[in-house]
Amino acid sequence: MTTTGSAERPATDLGFLLHKHPGKAQAFSTAHGTAHVFYPEADDSRCTAALLLEVDPVALVRRARGKGRGGAPDSALAQYVNDRPYAASSLLAVALSTVFASAMKGQCKARPELPAQPLPLHVALPAVPARGGAGLVRRLFEPLGWTVRAEPVPLDETFPEWGDSRYVRLGLEGERTVADALRHLYVLLPVLDDAKHYWVSPDEVDKLLRAGEGWLEDHPEQKLIADRYLARRRTLTRDALERLELARLAEADDTAAEEIDNAVEESADTEERPVPLAVRRRETILGVLREAKAARVLDLGCGPGQLLGELLKEGQFTDIVGMDVSMRALQEARRRLRLDRMPERQSERLRLVQGSLAYTDARLKGYDAAVLSEVVEHVDPPRLSALEYAVFGAARPRTVVVTTPNVEYNVRWESLPAGHVRHGDHRFEWTRAEFRAWAGEVAGRHGYEVEFRPVGPDDPEVGPPTQLAYFRQAEPASARTPAAPATPAPADSPAKEAQA
């Protein structure tokens, strides 16, 4: 941090403001290493104070690796190959607040008039991790009156094709008080990094309000700052917004917090947009299941359980199984459906199990219907035959409902670049003809009849956004079902022997 001055107002006043003598090098021990303060230059016209945080990399890793409460929230900290010793992160922010505590509060016993005076300041940080790049750095600092210089650091000049790293070389210039500058950095460095080395506790809200006093209230990126500063803990975010909201009530009457809260909930929904398509899909599936008079239903690949929630609402479905291969998805489903707080009569209708359609599974036998909603496109084509056998050959529910995107419709998505699939994990997306061909062969091989239904607006040219196949077991039971033994048991069958 550099300031300029003159004989009347010497630049070395910076030493008083920071409570650190320009003639000395001082060391302060912090939780993750030693913070050194020294002055590379100090005369009346120009004074630079430098803070160098010497992180102990081994201690950092060892501390981060503890389990549960002992460990760090940021799993990257447990890596020995770690940018923390070099980048300006929350470690530096904490060091700033420790070493320059009085300066940050705007206190100066020796020269009480000094802290309130804005100074011409220049702040330089060589490596600031910025999720959002130089653009976000500007959006965060410029509204605070800083002239921002943010140059991206290339990842590796030997491999220019790798592009830029997430670090920027940051320079800030402006007329601000030292306290403001420190508080801006204290809040915005971890926000740019979007990570913290410590667990965020409820008093973090107070810290943010304290350090943000006087500038955060009107910051255009206030929501992003609060979100990231509080490490995306939703309940805390809401808490902070409401309290900021209360602080602003003196000035304006606003009720936006609730809506923002809703948006947070909604954005946690993993379904692709527009959301009405997901709703439309569930409606169509439910319609088919009602029509099929299914009572015992499998939701194979249930994800976070949106369809399960709808199934539970209808008494017709007496026995519902949600299966997914991802434990995380099941955990999310359990949380979203509030399974642990559900009345017993309702919760006993539902079972969540981990399973995989790459394997046959005896637990899936004897159901009325199975739904595979947006599942097949997540399976590599060479392994579709295993899925086919597991569902149609082994589990053999009376009814099977399969939905999958119609790739022809993709041209109607404005946000989707040409040739892109709708979701990063889609292994393929089928045209209507491809889907019908596959479904027809499956039905033929396993003794089902199949019909197709559109989901969403049926575009005359490219068809509906989602396509649905409704399989019903052909009557009478096909020859594929294992025939009952026709021959009588031989004389030495155990049934007879057992009685002997």
Partner 1 sequence: MTGATSVPAPTRRPLGVPDLCLVVLVGATGSGKSTFAARHFKPTEVLSSDFCRGLVSDDENDQSASGDAFEVLHYIAAKRLAAGRRTVVDATNVQPEARAQLVKLAREHDVLPVAVVLDLPEEVCAERNAARADRAGMPRRVIQRHQRELRRSLRHLEREGFRKVHVLKGVEQVEAAEIVTERRFNDLRHLAGPFDIVGDIHGCRSELETLLARLGYEVEYDALGRAVDARHPQGRTAVFVGDLVDRGPDSPGVLRLVMGMTAAGHGLCVPGNHENKLGRYLKGRKVQHSHGLAETVAQLEGEDEAFRGEVAAFIEGLVSHYVLDGGALVVCHAGLPEKYHGRTSGRVRSFALYGDTTGETDEFGLPVRYPWAEEYRGRAAVVYGHTPTPRASWLNNTICLDTGCVFGGRMTALRWPERELVDVPAEQVWYEPAKPLASEAPGGADGRPLDLGDVAGRRVVETRHMGRVAVKEENAAAALEVMSRFAVDPRLLPYLPPTMAPCATSKEDGYLEHPAEAFASYRADGVREVVCEEKHMGSRAVVLVCRDEAAARERFGAAAGVSGAVCTRTGRPFFDDPAVTEQVLKSVREAVESAGLWAELADPAAAGSGHWLLLDAELLPWSLKASGLLRGQYAAVGAASGAAFPGALDALEAAAARGVEVPDLLARQRERAVDAAAFTEAYRRYCWPVDGLDGVRLAPFQILAAPGRSLAAVPHDEQLAWLDRLVEHDGTGLLRRTGRLVVDTEDEASVAAGVRWWLDLTAAGGEGMVVKPLGALVRKGDGRLVQPGVKCRGREYLRIIYGPEYTRPENLDRLRVRHLGHKRSLALREYALGLEALDRLADGEPLWRVHEAVFAVLALESEPVDPRL
Q: Within 10 A of 456 (CB to CB), how many other CB atoms are there?
A: 21
Length of the chain: 500
- Stretch binding partner 1 (CB under 8 A), from 125-133, 173-181, 291-299, 431-439: 125-133
Beta bridge partners of 169: 151
Q: Binding to partner 1 by residue 57, rule CB under 8 A? A: yes
Q: Binding to partner 1 by residue 421, rule CB under 8 A? A: no
Residues numbered 10 to 49 that lie near partner 1 (CB under 8 A) are 23-25, 36, 38-42, 48
Nearer to partner 1, 113 or 161 (CB): 161
**Cβ at position 77, least distance to partner 1 in Å:** 12
**Cβ at position 359, least distance to partner 1 in Å:** 4
Between CA 254 and CA 153, with CA 188 as vertex, the angle to 5 degrees is: 135
- Burial group, residue 309, by CB count within 10 angstroms (0-12, 13-18, 19+): middle
What's the CA gap between 336 and 272, in Å, rounded?
A: 18
Question: Tokens representing 445?
Answer: 């091989």
Between CA 299 and CA 305, with CA 300 as vertex, the angle to 5 degrees is: 55
**Cβ at position 316, least distance to partner 1 in Å:** 28
Of 156, 175, 206, 218, the one binding partner 1 by CB under 8 A? 156
Residues numbered 254 to 313 that lie near partner 1 (CB under 8 A) are none
Q: Binding to partner 1 by residue 437, rule CB under 8 A? A: no
Nearer to partner 1, 288 or 302 (CB): 302
Nearer to partner 1, 386 or 416 (CB): 386
**Cβ at position 360, least distance to partner 1 in Å:** 5
**Cβ at position 23, least distance to partner 1 in Å:** 7
Nearer to partner 1, 190 or 464 (CB): 190
Residues numbered 213 to 232 that lie near partner 1 (CB under 8 A) are none
C-alpha closest to that of 420 among 409, 430, 410: 410
* DSSP string for 324-335: ES-HHHHHHHHH
Provide the edge-to-edge strand list for the sheet that holds 119-129.
26-30, 33-42, 46-55, 2-4, 119-129, 164-176, 147-154
CB 304 within 8 A of CB 337: no
Q: Binding to partner 1 by residue 70, rule CB under 8 A? A: no
**Cβ at position 74, least distance to partner 1 in Å:** 13
Write the binding mask 325 to 364 for partner 1: x where contact by CB under 8 A, - elsewhere: xxx--------------------------xxxxxxxxxx-
Q: Binding to partner 1 by residue 479, rule CB under 8 A? A: no
Residues numbered 377 to 406 that lie near partner 1 (CB under 8 A) are 378, 380, 382-383, 386, 389-390, 393-394
**Cβ at position 87, least distance to partner 1 in Å:** 4
What's the CA gap between 40 and 47, in Å, rounded?
A: 8
Most distant CA pair in the chain, distance: 118
Of 15, 115, 129, 212, the one binding partner 1 by CB under 8 A? 129
Of 68, 80, 460, 476, the one binding partner 1 by CB under 8 A? 80
C-alpha closest to that of 369 among 270, 469, 267: 469
Of 6, 29, 158, 255, the one binding partner 1 by CB under 8 A? 158
CB 121 within 8 A of CB 176: yes
3-state secondary structure of 375: coil
Of 4, 73, 98, 124, the one binding partner 1 by CB under 8 A? 124
- Number of residues engaging partner 1 in binding (CB under 8 A): 78
**Cβ at position 268, least distance to partner 1 in Å:** 21
C-alpha closest to that of 336 among 367, 296, 304, 365: 304
Taking the CA atoms of residue 485, residue 488, residue 493 and residue 498 in that order, the dihedral angle to the nearest 10 degrees is: 100
**Cβ at position 418, least distance to partner 1 in Å:** 20
Nearer to partner 1, 129 or 464 (CB): 129
Give 229-281 as a 3 state SS string: HCCCCHHHHHHHHHHHHHHHHCCCCCCHHHHHHHHHHHHCCCCCCCHHHHHHH
Nearer to partner 1, 6 or 487 (CB): 487
| Non-local CB neighbours of 166 within 8 Å, separated by 6+ positions | 129, 130, 131, 133
Of 155, 224, 279, 339, the one binding partner 1 by CB under 8 A? 155
Nearer to partner 1, 27 or 116 (CB): 27
Of 30, 31, 50, 209, the one binding partner 1 by CB under 8 A? 50
**Inter-CA distances, 138 with 132, 141, 166, 439, Å:** 10, 5, 15, 53
**Cβ at position 145, least distance to partner 1 in Å:** 24
Nearer to partner 1, 21 or 248 (CB): 21
